[in-house]
Amino acid sequence: MAIDHLDGRIIVLLAEEPRIGVLEMSRRLGVARGTVQARLDRLRSNGVIRGFGPQVDPAALGYPVTAFATLQIRQGQGADVRAHLATVPEVLELLTTTGSGDMLCRLVARSNADLQRVIDRVVGFDGIVRASTTIVMETPVPLRVIPLVEQAAREGRPAGA
Amino acid sequence: MAIDHLDGRIIVLLAEEPRIGVLEMSRRLGVARGTVQARLDRLRSNGVIRGFGPQVDPAALGYPVTAFATLQIRQGQGADVRAHLATVPEVLELLTTTGSGDMLCRLVARSNADLQRVIDRVVGFDGIVRASTTIVMETPVPLRVIPLVEQAAREGRPAGA
DNA sequence: GCATCCGCTGGGCAATCTGTTCAGCGGTAC
DNA sequence: GTACCGCTGAACAGATTGCCCAGCGGATGC
């Protein structure tokens, strides 16, 4: 659960050059290949590294519009709404939150006009009382984890074991 | 920009078993290795596949609390605020949006108590007028793209070329 | 109609990496 | 003092990669 400096460097290296391979990593980090391999295994079984799936860009797929919808759910309909939203491909993420809205929903669409279609499909469901939508314009900081990894590595054990 | 059925299957396969390799993919898909390789190259240069970086779980790193902050920015201070937020590791994502709030900010923290520290650091900056925060409780649909890829593949050219 | 272009096939090549195992060597904890 | 744990450095066979080639078929353009 806590990662040390070496773990951090492994993750950063992997993020910068995903095709790098264990051997080359061990060379650059100045440790034995077995060490890198063991660290990686540990990071994966710890769940720190979930996987290496391809990072797909919805915009390049033809969905350049991103929006967030805040949904208010009718009491007791939560499970149904989740199941419904899970079937909509344009729903990239669904979160339940504190506050007035009950759920936060990340959407993509082919265009602003198409967004209307997506929203209609999302909210066209019984359990949803109200929805309010904001469109994303820019993304000054795209989803990232590396700075957090670096911080966690600094705060972890100094550097050695 | 438009992907066909084979592209879709490649991406899905890669998402399910990232370590699979081009050769094994070509076997499972029933096409020549060169074809898979060419498709992958194209998908990467198209930007559809951004990369294969490790997917790190903030929770496993010790940051189990996720929150969204809506920020109102003082006129003309946008750039400064962005630069400021980019330096905060706990800021995983920053978006500018339409609507009353000006920016939407995805945060993580070590605990609910720690979230206060993070928020203080985030909003402790001149250009930010007001901030409202919602804490994420559950994640019924974790960030995903595969359903979208499948839909895009269906809508693309039938199956062949 | 005919030539050209493009994508896929199926083969082969050397070079490289992987997964795995081993013994040895500290440093730490008990 | 002893046992445990992590790292090192090396070895091995097996598999994969990157790269090349010629041939084939359909679609495009003239």
Q: In order of start, what are the domains of chain B with their CATH numbers?
A: 5-54 (1.10.10.10), 65-135 (3.30.70.920)
* Listed residue (A98, A1, A96, A91) closest to B140, CA to CA: A96
Chain mean position to CA A125: 26
For residues B107 and B122, give the distance between their C-alpha atoms in angstroms, rounded to a whole number: 9
Residue B102 one-letter amino acid: D
CA-nearest residue to A106 within chain B is B143
Instruction: Print pLDDT tens along chain A (161 aa).
Output: 789 999 999 999 999 999 999 999 999 999 999 999 999 999 999 999 999 999 999 999 999 999 999 999 998 899 999 999 999 999 999 999 998 779 999 999 999 999 999 999 999 999 999 999 999 999 999 999 999 999 999 987 554 33
Per-residue tokens: B99: 């609507």
DSSP symbol at B134: E
Other CB atoms within 10 Å distance of the CB of residue A138? 12
A152 → closest Cβ in B3, B62, B92: B62
Contact across the interface for B47 and A63, Cβ inside 8 Å: no
Residue A5: closest CA among A111, A156, A140:
A156
Backbone phi, psi, residue A25, to 5°: -60, -45
Strand C surroundings (CB within 7 A): A 21-24, 33-34, 37; B 6, 19, 30-35, 38-39, 161
| Chain A residues in contact with B63 (beta carbon < 8 A) | 148, 152
Q: How far apart are alpha carbons B23 and B31 in whole angstroms?
A: 10
Per-residue pLDDT, A1:
73
User: What is the per-residue pLDDT for A157?
Assistant: 56
Whose C1' is closest to the CA of B23: which nucleotide? D16
CA angle B27, B29, B30 (to 5 degrees): 65
Single pTM value for the model: 0.91
Show which positions of strand D are touched by protein (CB under 7 A). Answer: 6-11, 15-21, 27
**Non-local CB neighbours of B98 within 8 Å, separated by 6+ positions:** A134, A135, A137
Decide if B96 and A62 are in contact by the 8 Å CB cutoff: no
Q: Which residue is nearest to nucleotide C16 (CA to C1')?
A: A23
Interchain proximity A49–B55, CB inside 8 Å: yes
- In tens digits, what is the pLDDT along chain B, a chain of 161 residues? 789 999 999 999 999 999 999 999 999 999 999 999 999 999 999 999 999 999 999 999 999 999 999 999 998 899 999 999 999 999 999 999 998 779 999 999 999 999 999 999 999 999 999 999 999 999 999 999 999 999 999 987 554 33
pLDDT at A84: 97
Shortest distance, CA B81 to any CA of chain A (angstroms): 10
Distance B25 CA to D21 C1' (A): 22
Nucleotide with C1' nearest the B39 CA: C7
Is the CB of B18 less than 8 angstroms away from the CB of A52?
Answer: yes
E-only strand ranges, chain A? 49-51, 55-56, 65-73, 91-97, 103-109, 128-141
What residue of A is the nearest CA neighbor of B153? A61
What was the pLDDT predicted at A131? 93
pLDDT (0 to 100) of residue A160: 37
Top residue of B16, B43, B49, B148 to mutate, by most chain A CBs within 10 Å, is: B148
Per-residue pLDDT at B38: 95
Q: What whole-number distance in Å separates Cα of residue B79 and Cα of residue B94?
A: 12
| Helix/strand/coil for B109 | strand
**Chain B residues closer than 8 Å to A49 by CB:** 54-57
Nearest-angstrom CA–CA distance, B7 and B152: 10
Q: What is the pLDDT of residue A122?
A: 96
**For position B106, what pLDDT does the model report?**
98
In whole angstroms, what is the distance from residue B65 CA to residue B140 CA? 15
Is the distance from CB of A53 to CB of B15 less than 8 angstroms? Answer: yes
The three-state (H, E, C) secondary structure of A18-59, written as one string: CCCCHHHHHHHHCCCHHHHHHHHHHHHHHCCEEECCCEECCC
**Interface test mutation site (partner B, options A1, A11, A45, A56, max chain B beta carbons within 10 A):** A56
To the nearest whole Å, the CA of B93 is away from the closest chain A CA by: 5
